[in-house]
Structure 1
Amino acid sequence: MSQIGMPPCDSGVILSAATAQSCAARSQRWILLAAILGTSMAFIDGTVVNVALPAIEREMGASTADAQWVMESYALFLASLLLVGGVLGDRFGRRRIFMIGTALFTLASVACACSTTVIPLIIARAAQGVGAALLVPGSLALISANFAATQRGAAIGTWSACSGITAAIGPVIGGFLVDHYSWIWAFLVNAPVGLVLLWICARKVPESRGQVGRRIDVRGASLVTLGLAGVVYALIEAPSRGWSAGEVWMAAAMGMLGLLLFVREEARSAGPMLPLTLFHERNFAGANVLTLLLYAALGGSLFFLPLNLIQVQGYGATEAGAALLPFIAIMFALSRWAGGLVDRFGSRPPLIVGPLIAAVGFALFAWPSVGGSYWTAFFPAICILGLGMSITVAPLTTTVMNAVGEERAGTASGVNNAVSRTGPLLAIALFGMLLTLSFNQSLSLRLADVHAPPALVASLLAQREKLAGIVVPSGYPAELRAAVRQAIELSFVDGFRRVMWLSAMLALLSGVSAAILIRGKPASHAVNELER
Structure 2
Amino acid sequence: MTEATEALAVPLRETHAPPAPPHRVWTVALAGLGALLCALDIVVVSTALPALQADFGASLSELEWTINAYNLVFACLTLTGAALGDRFGRRRMYVAGLAVFTLASAAAGLAGGSGQLIVARVVQGAGAAVLLPLTLTLISEAFPAEKRGVAIGVWGGVTGLGVAAGPLLGGAVTEGLSWQWIFWLNVPLGLVMLPLAARKLTESFGPRPQLDIVGLVLAAVGLTGLAWAPVRAPEAGWGSAEVLVSLAVGIVFVAAFLRWEHKGARYPMLRLALFKNRRFSTANAAAFLGFASLIGALFMITQFFQTGLGYDPLKAGVRILVWTATPLLISPIAGALADRFGTRPFMLAGLLLQGIGLALLAWQVEPGVGYGSLVGPLIVAGVGISMVFPSVANAVTSAVPLGDAGVAAGVNNALRELGGVFGVAVAAAVFTTYGGYGSRTDFLDGCGPALWAAAGIAAVGAVVAVFAPSRAAVE
TM-score range, shorter chain: 0.7 to 0.9
> Corresponding residue for 2:94?
98
Distance 1:343 1:146 in 2: 16
Alpha-carbon contact 1:54-1:311 (below 8 Å) kept: no
- Does 1:353 find its partner at 2:349? yes
- Superimposed CA distance per residue, residues 231-254 of structure 1 (whole angstroms, 9 cap, x where no aligned partner): 443334344444554434333322
- What per-residue deviation string (whole Å, max 9, x for no partner) do you get for residues 21-72 of structure 1? 438x4x7766655444323222222232233335435655556654443333
140-149 or 329-338: bigger deviation: 140-149
- How far apart, CA to CA, are the structure 1 residues paired with 2:433 and 2:60? 12
Q: Match for residue 370 of structure 2?
A: 373
Deviations 1:475-495 (A, max 9, x none): xxxxxxxxxxxx422222222
The verdict on how the C-alpha distance between 1:200 and 1:335 changes in structure 2, with shifts beyond 3 A counting, is closer
Question: Closer, same or farther in 2 for the Cα pair 1:145/1:337, shift >3 Å?
Answer: closer
SS state of the match for residue 314, structure 1?
A: coil
Give aligned-pair identity as a percent: 35
SS of 1:187 mapped into structure 2: helix
Change (3 A) 1:218 1:498: farther
Q: 1:400 aligns with which of 396, 402, 412?
A: 396
Give 1:518's match in structure 2, choosing from 462, 468, 473.
468
* 1:100-154 Cα distance to aligned partner (Å, 9 max, x none): 2122112222232333544433332121111012222344455566678898778
**Amino acid corresponding to residue 22 of structure 1 in structure 2:** A
Match of 1:285 among 252, 258, 281: 281
In 2, Cα distance between the equivalents of 1:335 and 1:159?
Answer: 8
Q: Show the 5 A alignment for 1:451-470.
A: 468=437
Aligned AA (2:471): P
Q: 2:330 aligns with which of 324, 330, 334?
A: 334
Please point out which of 313, 318, 342 is paired with 1:317: 313
Q: What is the CA-CA distance between 1:352 and the residue it aligns to? A: 3.1
CA contact (8 A) 2:426 2:453 kept: no
Give the corresponding residue for 2:250: 255
| Superposed counterparts of 1:227-238, under 5 Å | 227-238=222-233
CA contact (8 A) 1:217 1:271 kept: yes
TM-score (norm 2): 0.82
Match of 1:4 in 2: none
Residue 216 (structure 1) aligns with: 211
Tell me the residue number matched to 1:272.
Answer: 268
Distance (whole Å) between structure 2 residues aligned to residue 352 and residue 163 of structure 1 = 20
Offset at residue 506 of structure 1 (A): 0.8
Question: Which one of the candidate residues 442, 445, 453 is aligned to 1:491?
Answer: 442
One of 505, 511, 524 as aligned partner of 2:456: 505
Which one-letter code corresponds to 1:48 in the other structure? V
Alpha-carbon distance in structure 1 between the residues aligned to 2:102 and 2:88: 21
Q: How many residues align?
A: 458
In the other structure, the counterpart of 1:20 is: 18
Change (3 A) 1:220 1:438: farther
Partners of 2:140 and 2:340 lie apart in 1 by: 28
**Alpha-carbon distance in structure 1 between the residues aligned to 2:315 and 2:50:** 13
Instruction: Tell me the equivalent position of 2:12.
Output: none
1:496 deviation in Å? 2.1
Give yes or no for contact 1:87–1:216 (8 Å, CA) kept in 2. yes
Per-residue CA deviation, residues 159-185 of structure 1 (Å, 9 max, x unaligned), is 667666666555433321112232221
Q: Secondary structure at the match of 1:315?
A: coil
Q: Is the 8 A contact 1:93 1:208 kept in 2?
A: yes
State the SS of the aligned residue for 2:268.
Answer: coil
Using the alignment, how far apart are the partners of 2:455 and 2:153 within structure 1? Answer: 31
CA 1:384–1:117 in structure 2 vs 1: closer, same or farther (change >3 Å)? same
Task: Judge conservation of contact 1:54–1:307 (CA < 8 Å) in 2.
Answer: no
Which letter does structure 2 place at the counterpart of 1:192? P
Contact 2:435 2:442 (8 Å CA) reproduced = yes
Task: Render the CA deviation track for 1:488-521: whole Å, top value 9, x for unaligned.
Answer: 2222222222221111111111112223x324x4
Q: Tell me the amino acid that sits aligned with residue 493 of structure 1.
A: L
CA contact (8 A) 2:140 2:148 kept: yes
Q: More displaced, 141-150 or 234-243?
A: 141-150
TM-superposed deviation, 1:401: 4.4
Quick check: 392-401 or 297-306, which moved more?
392-401
Which piece of structure 1 moves more, 421-430 or 386-395? Answer: 386-395
Structure 1 unaligned regions, length at least 5: 1-16, 441-467, 469-486, 526-532
- C-alpha displacement of 1:374: 2.2
Q: 1:271 to 1:422 in 2, by over 3 A?
A: farther
How big is the shift at 1:424? Answer: 0.5
Q: Give runs of aligned pairs for residues 22-41 of structure 1, distance below 5 A.
A: 22=20, 25=22, 33-41=29-37
Query: Is the 2:343–2:391 Cα contact (8 Å) retained in structure 1?
Result: yes
1:293·1:507 contact (CA, 8 Å) conserved in 2?
A: yes
Where in structure 2 are the equivalents of 1:15-164 lying within 5 Å?
Answer: 18-22=16-20, 25=22, 33-57=29-53, 59-60=55-56, 62=58, 66-142=62-138
Question: Could you say what the CA RMSD is over the residues aligned between the two structures, in angstroms?
Answer: 3.6
CA contact (8 A) 1:360 1:385 kept: yes
Q: C-alpha separation between the residues in 2 aligned to 1:319 and 1:76? A: 29
Q: Is the 8 A contact 1:78 1:129 kept in 2?
A: yes
Q: What is the letter of the counterpart of residue 70 of structure 1?
A: T
Amino acid at match of 1:396: V
Report the secondary structure of 1:323's partner residue. helix
Name 1:9's counterpart in structure 2.
none
Match of 2:11 in 1: none
Q: 1:198 aligns with which of 167, 173, 194?
A: 194
- Unpaired runs of 5+ residues, structure 2, are 1-14
**TM-score normalised per structure 1:** 0.74
d(CA) in 2 for partners of 1:181, 1:371: 32
Q: Deviations over 1:272-329 (max 9, x none)?
A: 3332211112232222222211211111221232233234432222223223322344
Query: Which whole-Å CA distance do the structure 1 matches of 2:412 and 2:201 have between them?
Result: 28
The change in CA–CA distance for 1:110 and 1:427 in structure 2 (over 3 A counts) is same
Match of 1:7 in 2: none
| Structure-2 change in CA distance of 1:354 and 1:217 (3 Å) | same
Whether contact under 8 Å (1:76, 1:225) holds in the other structure is: no
